[in-house]
Amino acid sequence: MKKKTDTKAKKPWGGRFAEASSDVTERMSASIQYDARLYRQDIRGSIAHARMLKKTGILTAVELGAIEKGLREIEREIEEGRFEFSASLEDIHMNIEAVLTERIGDAGRKLHTARSRNDQIALDLRLYLRDEAAEIDKRIAMLVSVLAALAETHIDAVMPGYTHLQVAQPVRFSQHMLAHAWALLRDRTRLQSAVRASSVSPLGAGAMAGVNYPTDRAFTARELGLEGITPNSMDSVSDRDFALDFVYFAAVLGLHLSRFCEELVLWSSAEFGFIRLSDEVTTGSSIMPQKRNPDLAELVRGKTGRLYGNLVSLLTMLKGLPLTYNRDLQEDKERVFDSVDTVKLSLEGMIAMLPGMKLNTEAMKAALYRNFSTATDLADYLARRGVPFRKAHEIVGGLVRHCEESGADFFNLPLETLRGFSEHFGDGIREILNPETSPERKLSAGSTARGEIEKQIEAIKAILGGSAHD
Return the active site residues: 164, 285
- Distance set, CA 430 to CA 199, 370, 415, 423, 425 (Å): 60, 16, 8, 15, 10
User: What single DSSP character describes residue 24?
Assistant: H
Q: Any residues with CB less than 8 A from the CB of 129 and at least 6 apart, and which?
A: 194, 195, 198, 242, 243, 246, 336, 340
Distance CA 404, CA 51 (A): 80
Three state DSSP letters for 194-217: HHHHCCEECCCCCCCCCCCCCCCH
Largest Cα–Cα separation, the chain: 101
Number of Cβ within 10 Å of residue 409's Cβ equals 11
Short-list 14, 11, 252, 35, CA closest to 122:
35
Q: What is the DSSP string of 206-270?
A: TTTT--SS---HHHHHHHTT-SEE-S-HHHHHH--HHHHHHHHHHHHHHHHHHHHHHHHHHHTST
Is the Cβ–Cβ distance between 78 and 21 less than 8 Å? no
Is the Cβ–Cβ distance between 237 and 204 less than 8 Å? no
Is the Cβ–Cβ distance between 195 and 128 less than 8 Å? no
Short-list 53, 61, 47, CA closest to 96:
47
Query: If you compute the radius of gyration of the chain from its CA atoms, what whole number of angstroms results?
Result: 30
User: What single DSSP character describes residue 293?
Assistant: B
